[in-house]
Amino acid sequence: MAFRYKDCLEKGLLRKMPPSKDKALGSIKKAGKWLEEVRKTIDSGALDSSVLASYMVFFHSARAVLFLDGVREKSHACIARYLEEKYVKGGKLEKKWIELLDHQRELRHSGQYDLSFMTTEEEARNILDSAVEFLERMKKLSGLLDQVL
């Protein structure tokens, strides 16, 4: 089901909460840990697992922005809709990042459920590169760029 921002609000899939820099930092740190997992899975040849771990980098990176804004998601798709509504429309984030987040979410879904899903090493490394770039962009967007080791 494709959600619009309005749907996410109406269905309670995006909810207000107190803004939390601590949770945002925790989410960025978690994204960094997942990034380490991606590298390990690629190096060990677990390429399909690397796709799943890469998505977690995207998820936690984006989620950090929501935590800072005082928003909690109940749908992964709604994270992208929130960023699109609040940051792309406001000119603070390029649309390509939302497209990439949606694409990675769809890849993760295929990796989990599609019986014919197979990843090559080149694809896995390209996804890793995208995850690194996305994490850095979300750190910059959130103002947490220099606060996380």
CA 108 – CA 101 distance, rounded (Å)? 11
Supply 5's token pair.
């921002």
Mutual angle of helices 95-113 and 76-83, in 10-degree steps? 170
CA 23 – CA 6 distance, rounded (Å)? 25
CB atoms within 10 A of CB 67: 23
What SS3 class is residue 128?
helix
Percent of the chain whose pLDDT exceeds 70: 96
Report pLDDT for 147. Answer: 67
Report pLDDT for 144. Answer: 82
What SS3 class is residue 14?
strand
The residue ranking higher by pLDDT, 147 or 22, is 22
Report pLDDT for 111. Answer: 87
Does domain 25-142 sit in CATH 1.10.3720.10? no
Per-residue pLDDT band for 3 (boundaries 50, 70, 90) equals confident
The mean pLDDT value of the chain amounts to 94
Report pLDDT for 51. Answer: 95
Taking Cα atoms as reference points, which of 61, 37, 58 lies closest to residue 49? 37
Classify residue 15 by its DSSP letter.
E
CA distances from 44 to 16, 40, 47, 113, 124 (A): 41, 6, 8, 22, 12
Per-residue pLDDT band for 149 (boundaries 50, 70, 90) equals very low
For the chain, the structural domain boundaries read 25-142
Per-residue pLDDT tens over the stretch 22-78: 999 999 999 999 999 999 999 999 999 999 999 999 999 999 999 999 999 999 999
Report pLDDT for 110. Answer: 92
Per-residue pLDDT band for 148 (boundaries 50, 70, 90) equals low
Sign, Cα dihedral of 119, 123, 125, 128: negative
CB atoms within 10 A of CB 91: 7
